[in-house]
């Protein structure tokens, strides 16, 4: 049980009767007030993580900034927390620009990504004065020049580093759809430097996501440095999160010791360094509560599933789970969702203590990519997001309604 609690947001505990508490709120009270499934974020823990990243990076490289990778959890309320804690925002599409602006970000602190930016997205970035646009290809340059605006850009470089992670979230290898190999980046950099409109500020690199060792991050710096000296080096994100008992990701200090150590060796001392944590910022600071609907043989089926958590189906991500009022122990079951797919499995083989219809099931580490990839499969209504802290809770994203499902019909 003690090991299980470490997978939930820091400060999570058991109440006197054994009920799980998140942000000081009982799981059963949260389910009663907001329904299930519900994604619960421990707001104080989220803020503490943002501050940890900011202070640890600044201590190692004063001319630096942390930019939250919004795609991990692009709820406006989450983006607003990052803004309030002094972070910038990394966006990967027009919708993330819109929510970032609503969250109160200074547009100059936005970094705009994408391997296939549309004319509309370029226009949106230009209209609102996005601070840095990461050029992924020559077509980006064509569109930016055609906008007629003066734009600060970074060029994304493939470092040729293959990290130990799922192939679907691997981005630093030579076969990546993102960025340019150094031999292709060099002439594009020269073109940008000749442009009357674009300002070549620096380079960007990213090796992937859910990376559980520090070497790939450090190894990605030298290939970028070989392209020359620039004002800005965006060294990306990708630090992994702890989803299971077997996961032991590096701490933020360990990660930054390796990354900034490589930066000191290879990059100009006067340059600005940007990092873009996403998953490691938010994953562990949230949990999802479900209600058991049916029991059959080894299957425990709940009222959510791949509609609110696609990580398992897409990336084979392993999660853990427990009955919220009886944490730890029990027999092994397959925890499945309610959607009409055999792949709708939340946890294949998890110990649950005497599950019964109506029980609450808590799944930790759902803060990254679950809200992002929520969907309406089988007419599913996307679930609410609730912020909890100091025993108080409030909805920051409401549950979808049946009317919402029909709203786009014409």
Quick: pLDDT tens for 60-92: 999 999 999 999 999 999 999 999 999 999 999
Residues of the chain with CATH 2.40.37.10: 2-42+283-406
Residues of the chain with CATH 3.20.20.10: 44-281
What topology is assigned to 2-42+283-406 in CATH?
Lyase, Ornithine Decarboxylase; Chain A, domain 1 (2.40.37)
- pLDDT score of 166: 42
Over the chain (410 residues), the average pLDDT of each successive run of 10 is: 88 96 98 98 98 98 98 98 98 96 98 94 96 96 95 92 50 68 93 97 91 91 95 96 94 97 97 97 98 97 98 92 95 97 96 97 98 97 98 98 97
The architecture (CATH level 2) of 44-281 comes to Alpha-Beta Barrel (3.20)
pTM listed for this prediction: 0.95
Q: What is the CA radius of gyration of the chain?
A: 22
Is 340 a known active-site residue? yes
CA–CA dist 278, 84 (Å, integer): 16
The residue from 2, 183, 269, 340 that is catalytic is: 340
Render pLDDT for 146-196 as a digit per residue (tens, 0 to 9). Answer: 999 999 999 999 986 655 454 544 454 566 677 899 899 999 999 999 999
- pLDDT score of 178: 73
Q: Using an 8 Å Cβ cutoff, are 335 and 300 in contact?
A: yes
Give the distance from CA 199 to its chain's centroid: 29
- Burial classification of residue 297, based on how many CB atoms lie within 10 Å of its CB (0-12 exposed, 13-18 middle, 19 or more buried): exposed
- Burial classification of residue 16, based on how many CB atoms lie within 10 Å of its CB (0-12 exposed, 13-18 middle, 19 or more buried): exposed
CA–CA dist 202, 156 (Å, integer): 9
Please give the torsion angle defined by the CA atoms of residues 66, 71, 72 and 75, in that order, rounded to the nearest 10 degrees.
100
Pairing of strands 232-234, 198-204: parallel
Structure token digits, residue 314: 């897409």
Q: Using an 8 Å Cβ cutoff, are 324 and 289 in contact?
A: yes
């Amino acid at each position: 049980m003690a090991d299980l609690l470490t997978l939930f947001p820091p400060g999570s505990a058991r109440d006197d009767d054994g009920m799980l508490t998140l942000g000081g709120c009982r799981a059963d009270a949260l389910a009663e007030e907001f329904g299930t499934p519900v994604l619960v974020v421990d707001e104080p823990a989220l803020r503490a993580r943002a501050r940890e990243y900011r202070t640890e990076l600044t201590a190692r490289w004063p001319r630096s900034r942390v930019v939250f990778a919004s795609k991990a959890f692009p709820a406006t309320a989450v983006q607003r927390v990052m803004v309030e804690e002094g972070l910038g925002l990394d966006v990967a599409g027009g919708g993330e620009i819109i929510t970032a602006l609503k969250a109160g970000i200074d547009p100059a602190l936005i970094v705009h990504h994408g391997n296939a930016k549309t004319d509309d997205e370029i226009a949106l970035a230009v209209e609102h004065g996005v601070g840095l646009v990461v050029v992924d290809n020559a077509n980006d340059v064509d569109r930016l020049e055609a906008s007629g605006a003066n734009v600060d850009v970074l060029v994304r470089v493939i470092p040729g580093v293959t990290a130990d992670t799922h192939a679907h979230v691997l981005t630093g290898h030579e076969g990546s759809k993102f960025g340019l190999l150094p031999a292709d980046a060099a002439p594009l950099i020269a073109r940008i430097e000749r442009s009357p409109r674009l300002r070549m500020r620096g380079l960007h690199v990213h090796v992937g996501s859910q990376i559980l060792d520090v070497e790939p991050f450090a190894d990605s710096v030298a290939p970028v440095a070989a392209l020359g000296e620039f004002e800005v080096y965006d060294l990306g994100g990708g630090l992994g999160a702890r989803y299971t008992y077997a996961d032991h990701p590096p701490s933020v200090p360990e990660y930054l010791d390796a990354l900034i150590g490589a930066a000191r060796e290879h990059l100009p001392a006067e340059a600005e360094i940007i990092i873009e944590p996403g998953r490691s910022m938010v994953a562990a600071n949230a949990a999802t509560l479900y209600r058991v609907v049916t029991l059959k043989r080894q299957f425990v089926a709940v009222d959510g599933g791949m509609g609110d958590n696609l990580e398992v189906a897409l990336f084979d991500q392993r999660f853990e789970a427990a009955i919220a009022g009886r944490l730890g122990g029990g027999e092994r079951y397959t925890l499945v969702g309610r959607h009409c797919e055999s792949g709708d499995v939340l946890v294949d083989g998890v110990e649950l203590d005497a599950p019964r219809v109506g029980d609450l099931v808590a799944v930790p580490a759902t803060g990254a990519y679950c809200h992002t990839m929520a969907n309406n499969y089988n007419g599913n209504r996307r679930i609410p997001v609730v912020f909890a802290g100091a025993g108080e809770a409030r909805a920051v994203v409401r549950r979808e309604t049946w009317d919402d499902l029909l709203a786009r019909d014409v």
